[in-house]
Structure 1
């Protein structure tokens, strides 16, 4: 089969022929991939940056956002059958640690990740444990089904709080931030303010329903948000950018007793005044990793099945798997939403 492989400890990837997965275990599932989307972490692996160097052990097939059809199942598989239309949770839990055994598989202490720790989905077939397989509603188009995993990130981040009638501030409008804007609006947010510095992503914010978009390089974020909220600040702050300055700005404009949900990754220590920005304001802060398994998936599936969220505003490019290099160029240019590859 064709697969996109990280073959060496250097920049780049290689499209090559590799053996199809063999010897399904009793609880393993073989999936024929129909669509796959490129994640920022795939770009990190391509570039072979410090994170990739610390985590990836070539050779390995990368990719983890995908949809497909079940090709074969192990003898003990119960959750799906051959022919089922599926997507997959990226995080493979161990099922035996205290987190897994207390309904917190998304923060498993022994987590493995598809396309990072085991062979991934940028291939014609992928083998996964049944634990992570999600049977999709038939109404969800394959192009959008491959984006279920990052969409789940947005759902998890946005819905830590009841957003009905709330003012919401989203910092960083990449694809997941744009999804979070749509989720906030459909969940009843009264006002959604976005912060973004890139022109393409500012337009993405507007297209996905942001009421106000602020460019921190051109405006005083704190002053503008306070004006928009009659001096109260926002009820909910969703930090999606990974910018230390955006985090500080967002904490400053979150109202006393408000909620902060952090998906962005910073890669280093960040000095902040915890007393002033968190403790004395009575802030509730949530660190977001992955998706709740499988609470988030039920919500995400229903939102897409009933067309409450429009991912055509997020998926900006659809290409053939053979044109993967163009997909990675688009991702690195920053002038795209989600890039989906068809197989």
Structure 2
């Protein structure tokens, strides 16, 4: 099979022939139809400290995907050959305290598809049955391969956006990358009053405006406090979603939050951040870290919202701005790393 392969601990990927994986007991083999390119994949390509610090080589990266089940191993009970599926990329141990309590997203021994084991930048991928999300079994007949390929990052957006109640609340999102854009659509769907989003990319802010945010603010030219002023908020934002990881984003967000405001943090900073802890304490702010998706309540929420809202279905689909054949993976990675567009998807059906 064709696969993007990292042969060792060094920069770069190669499109090469690799042996097809076969499912073991409790595992499912999936023919990959489409894959999304994630920020993690960019780190693995560059083999920077963020990538080298988490991955094990040799490796086939890729953890955002959609495909068709073509084989199942022994002890597989629910997934069927022919099912159209996406996959939860976090494989948990099942026996740590959190796993046993049903909090699998907090597993202390999580291994990630495409990071610590071979992933989906290939014609075939194998994952445990319990990590398969079957669109066929859930009755989701209108999920395209491209949309199915971004269920993983859509899950990040849903997990972050719905961590705190947003009905009737004023929401500030810092970072209009693909996940920030999807989060904006989710909080709008869930009943937020005003939705403001910030970024430094005019292209991404324009995409946010087309998705119906109330304010898209370029913080390269305008102070973040203008978001509160332009929306005429007397007491600040109620809920903040920090999606960028930029060193200035969280401190600026804290400065415009209402007393008792709640902030969900998904963006991963690469350096330490100075925070005005006195404001956090005296304004009684809540800061909550977010990682991945709740398994599998977030997946249920994603599927249900897309099934019941044509607007949200269209809004999330519109975040996909580039679909390229997998043979043009270099162009796809360049587009994903440009910081100006939406989600980039690779089409793996070009190999037959």
Q: Would you say same fold, with TM above 0.5?
A: yes
The superposition leaves residues 9-52 of structure 1 with CA deviations (integer Å, 9 ceiling, x where unpaired) of: 22210000011013x22211111111111111101111111111
Residue-by-residue CA offset, 1:87-144 (whole Å, 9 max, x unaligned): 0011111111111111211121000000000000000110111121111122211110
**Are residues 15 and 185 of structure 1, via their aligned partners in 2, closer, same or farther at CA, if it must alter by over 3 Å?**
same
Alignment RMSD (CA, Å)? 1.3
Structure 1 position 255 matched with structure 2 position 254: no
Separation in 1 of the partners of 2:254 and 2:149? 33
Q: 1:334 aligns with which of 321, 339, 342?
A: 339
Pair 1:253–1:46, CA change in 2 (3 A): same
Of residues 73-82 and 125-134 in structure 1, the stretch that sits farther from structure 2 once superposed is 73-82
Residues 173 and 201, structure 1, Cα contact 8 Å, conserved in 2: yes
CA contact (8 A) 1:26 1:76 kept: yes
Residue of structure 1 equivalent to 2:300: 298
Structure 2 gap segments, 5+ residues each: none
2:20 alignment partner in structure 1 = 20
Secondary structure at the counterpart of residue 52 of structure 2: helix
The 1-side partners of 2:245 and 2:128 are apart by: 31
Change (3 A) 1:17 1:274: same
Residues 1-343 of structure 1 mapped to structure 2, 5 A cutoff: 1-22=1-22, 24-136=23-135, 137-226=140-229, 228-276=231-279, 278-306=280-308, 307-309=310-312, 310=314, 311-343=316-348
1:182 to partner: Cα distance: 0.5
- Aligned partners of 1:33 and 1:67 also within 8 Å: yes
- Further displaced range: 78-87 or 233-242: 78-87
TM-score if structure 2 supplies the norm length?
A: 0.94
- The whole-number CA distance in structure 2 between the counterparts of 1:154 and 1:230 is 25
Give CA-to-partner distance per residue, 1:210-235, whole Å, 9 cap, x none: 11111222222124414524320011
Where in structure 1 are there 5+ consecutive unaligned residues?
A: none
Deviations 1:57-82 (A, max 9, x none): 32110000001111111221123111
Higher deviation after alignment, 127-136 or 278-287: 278-287
Task: Report how many aligned residue pairs link the two structures.
Answer: 341
